[in-house]
A = this chain, B = another copy of it.
């Protein structure tokens, strides 16, 4: 199986791109590809969408035009369409891009379209790796000690101990491929760091991880504040908790940004103060720029599937392409399969304990 996946990397295209997904598509997608083509000069992209519109836009973006092949798709999936309905749409740009991964033409797909539709289509068309129970949604975020990977972010609202262990294996592979870490540390999100805290599910997952080949880098339980503190490189949790934690953290940072804007416009001296501190504040803003962290990845599938934020611009879309390219280039799926093979060598398969 590992061979078959590797062979896919030799398809004609590095990535298939859903050109019509996202709030500002296709313009933002093509702006992103113009940047991506410069950063990945060897890569070829299969651009799927409305041929006439895309042709006209490519004419004004010479690098993207050179890197892309066009494939017509007459339909696009609206942002508010239910996944079940999206599965029935024939000829959508998202479906065309995903089909190219399933057929081996491309190693991965990037879409800024409907998240639920992308997840449903990818699971059904690209399919889950044979050793994986369920794919997970992973992303990278900023912390006090460098970038942090977190998963699952909402693909699975109910998980058992085995799922959490698989997420750890996938998170480890992701941190190696995308963050370039040689020995990423792992933590399991819990309500307390003492061994007896939390439910049976997380305790059982912790025990399995401690005894596995990941044991040396497994730091045990971590808590909510460890995400921003960057205590570990990879935070493993179920999709319900992960989704809430991600959005709670983003909400807190947004509140702080909004309040600072009020502070710096509250008086003339405060405005002058802002101007004086501006270079450092700009560096801070740049460091926290959500576009730098664009690209959530559905991992555990027979190919690379990256979801760009729907509202992003070309800079953000190019970052999502970077994430996908890192995963394709660094044999991400082979690493997962190696990790899972080592896991089943060293540990018995843990029993299912649904939450």
Task: Give the B-binding residues of A (Cβ under 8 A).
Answer: 142-144, 154, 157-158, 189, 191-192, 197-199, 223-229, 237, 239-241, 243-256, 258-260, 262-264, 266-267, 269-270, 272-281, 283-284, 287, 355
- Which residues of the other chain, B, contact A272 by a CB distance below 8 angstroms? 273, 276
**In the complex with contacts A223-B244, A243-B191, A245-B245, A251-B277 CB distance below 8 A:** no
Copies, count = 2
- Give 3 closest A-B pairs by Cβ, nearest first: A224-B247, A273-B276, A225-B251
- Which residues of the other chain, B, contact A229 by a CB distance below 8 angstroms? 251, 254-255
Determine how close the nearest CB of chain B comes to the CB of A215; give it in whole angstroms.
24
- Which residues of the other chain, B, contact A241 by a CB distance below 8 angstroms? 240-241, 244
The listed residue (B248, B260, B263, B267) touching A227 by CB distance below 8 A is: B248
**Complexed CA–CA distance, A260 and B251 (Å):** 18
- Which residues of the other chain, B, contact A280 by a CB distance below 8 angstroms? 262-264, 266-267, 270
Please tell me if the beta carbons of A191 and B240 are within 8 angstroms of each other in the complex: yes
**Complexed CA–CA distance, A100 and B352 (Å):** 46
Please tell me if the beta carbons of B240 and A198 are within 8 angstroms of each other in the complex: yes
> Which residue on B lies nearest to A225, using beta carbons?
B251
**Complexed CA–CA distance, A303 and B238 (Å):** 35
Task: Identify whether the interface residues of A are mostly helix, strand, loop, or mixed.
Answer: helix
**In the complex with contacts A144-B255, A279-B267, A228-B240 CB distance below 8 A:** no
Please tell me if the beta carbons of A224 and B246 are within 8 angstroms of each other in the complex: yes
**Complexed CA–CA distance, A198 and B355 (Å):** 13
The listed residue (B244, B263, B283, B355) touching A191 by CB distance below 8 A is: B244
Known: A158-B355, A245-B248, A260-B260. 20 other contacts (CB 8 A): A144-B255, A157-B199, A158-B199, A199-B240, A223-B244, A223-B247, A225-B250, A225-B254, A226-B251, A228-B248, A228-B254, A229-B251, A229-B254, A229-B255, A244-B244, A263-B283, A269-B277, A270-B276, A270-B277, A276-B276
**Complexed CA–CA distance, A12 and B246 (Å):** 48
- Which residues of the other chain, B, contact A251 by a CB distance below 8 angstroms? 224-229, 249
**In the complex with contacts A191-B240, A280-B266, A255-B273 CB distance below 8 A:** no
**Complexed CA–CA distance, A263 and B228 (Å):** 18
